[in-house]
Amino acid sequence: MISIRRARPSDATAIGAVHVAAWRSAYAGLLPDEYLAGLSVVRHASVYGRGIADRSEGHAIFVAVASGADAPPGREAGMVVGFSSGGRARRPSMAEGEVETLYLLDDYRDRGVGRRLMRAMAAHLAAVGCRSAMLWVLAANPTRWFYQHLGGRLMAHEVIHFAGMALPQTAFGWDPIDSLLAATAPAREG
Ligand SMILES: CC(C)(COP(=O)(O)OP(=O)(O)OC[C@H]1O[C@@H](n2cnc3c(N)ncnc32)[C@H](O)[C@@H]1OP(=O)(O)O)[C@@H](O)C(=O)NCCC(=O)NCCS
How do residues 46-66 score in pLDDT, each as one tens digit?
999 999 999 999 999 999 999
Class at the top of the CATH hierarchy for domain 2-188: alpha beta
pTM above 0.85, yes or no: yes
| Burial of residue 109 (number of CB atoms within 10 Å: 0-12, 13-18, 19+) | middle
Atom of ligand 1 nearest to the CA of 135: 48
* Residue-range domain boundaries for the chain: 2-188
Helices and strands in the chain: count of H runs, count of E runs:
6, 7
Angle at which helix 12-26 crosses helix 41-53, to 10 degrees, equals 120
Looking at ligand 1, which residue's alpha carbon is closest to its atom 48?
A: 137
Looking at ligand 1, which residue's alpha carbon is closest to its atom 21?
A: 146
| Per-residue confidence (pLDDT) for residue 188, from 0 to 100 | 54
Rounded to an integer, what distance in angstroms lies between the CA atom of residue 12 and that of residue 38? 19
Residues at CB less than 6 angstroms from ligand 1: 22, 26, 102-104, 109-115, 137, 141-143, 145-146, 149, 190
Looking at ligand 1, which residue's alpha carbon is closest to its atom 26?
A: 146
> Best substitution site from 137, 143, 180, 184 to test ligand 1's pocket, by max atoms within 8 Å of Cβ?
143
Instruction: List pLDDT tens digits, range 3-59.
Output: 999 999 999 999 999 999 999 999 999 999 999 999 999 999 999 999 999 999 999
Distance 109 CA to ligand 1 centre (A): 7
